[in-house]
């Protein structure tokens, strides 16, 4: 393996699938000269159906091994499920800055006009006490309706491969929020899974023009930029990807990955 110098050390953006590309895109806007390694744990997908213990062990173990191999300057866990469960454990294991991804409840509470916010995430994310604390801290006096929508992960991954999006999955997620008591008053929806912004067009059409969608990608990128503020970057930064999954399957994504500046990938 080519020796990695401090200047060449990448920002490692980690996700269970390809949803973290939304964070990568915002990070490139904030830090256009930074080298980035996008790590997709497709062999572990989906996280939302796994137990907390399984997720914590897998994420901490993978990031430990990836950090040894790629020696990143910073790690971003671009996955709400992994962050709400494993963020503290990873910070104990790695001695570099770690940026997590948590549901954008704070900005949603500032934006809502009706006082009713919807939250779409995985089953594992919406049940976490971390989300309870965010609600208690930032959404006092608001109503937060949660719905686990694991059925959206598959369509998001399929869309990246140029395949059609199942409209039934979109309708199921929307109905899961709208069908709850008070759901008709939702005017702001937090996309609490980095896969879901990939379906923003479809979700927005289904919710209607009076509902705004919000995710945390831009805020995460700003935090990464602050932590890397004094770093030196190489003159020609590389944007690469690695996957824990099947190489042929991941290779089908290359045309879409190229739009994010990724033109090559390796299997981890």
228 tagged catalytic: no
76 tagged catalytic: no
**Contact yes or no for 147/119 (Cβ under 8 A):** yes
From the list 193, 199, 239, 253, the catalytic residue is 193
Tokens 């949660």 map to which residue?
146
From the list 79, 85, 120, 189, the catalytic residue is 79
| Residues 6 or more apart whose Cβ sits within 8 Å of residue 44 | 16, 50, 58, 62, 244
The strands making up 36-40's β-sheet, listed across from edge to edge, are 98-99, 74-77, 11-15, 36-40, 239-243, 265-267
Euclidean distance between CA atoms 87 and 83, whole angstroms:
5
| Residues 6 or more apart whose Cβ sits within 8 Å of residue 127 | 148
Q: Which residues are catalytic?
A: 79, 193
């Amino acid at each position: 393996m080519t020796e990695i110098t401090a200047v060449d050390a990448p920002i490692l953006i980690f996700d269970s699938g390809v949803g973290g590309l939304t964070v990568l895109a915002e990070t490139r806007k904030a830090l256009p000269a930074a080298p980035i390694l996008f790590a997709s744990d497709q062999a572990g997908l989906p996280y939302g159906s796994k137990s907390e213990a399984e997720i914590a062990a897998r994420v901490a173990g993978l990031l430990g091994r990836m950090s040894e191999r790629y020696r990143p300057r910073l790690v971003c866990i671009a996955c709400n499920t992994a962050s709400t469960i494993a963020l503290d454990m990873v910070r104990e294991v790695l001695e570099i800055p770690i940026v997590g991804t948590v549901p954008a409840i704070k900005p949603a509470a500032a934006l809502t006009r009706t006082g009713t916010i919807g939250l779409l995430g995985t089953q594992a994310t919406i049940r976490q006490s971390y989300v309870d604390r965010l609600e208690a801290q930032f959404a006092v006096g608001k109503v937060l309706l949660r719905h686990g929508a694991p059925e959206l992960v598959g369509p998001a991954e399929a869309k990246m491969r140029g395949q059609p999006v199942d409209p039934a999955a979109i309708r199921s997620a929307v109905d899961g929020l709208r069908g709850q008591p008070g759901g008709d008053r939702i005017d702001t929806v937090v996309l609490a899974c980095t896969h879901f912004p990939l379906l923003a067009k479809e979700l927005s059409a289904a919710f209607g023009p009076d509902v705004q969608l919000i995710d945390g990608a831009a805020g995460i990128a700003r935090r990464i930029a602050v932590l890397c503020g004094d770093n030196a970057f190489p003159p020609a930064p590389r944007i690469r990807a690695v996957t824990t999954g099947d190489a042929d399957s991941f290779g089908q994504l290359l045309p879409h990955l190229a739009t994010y500046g990724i033109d090559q990938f390796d299997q981890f």
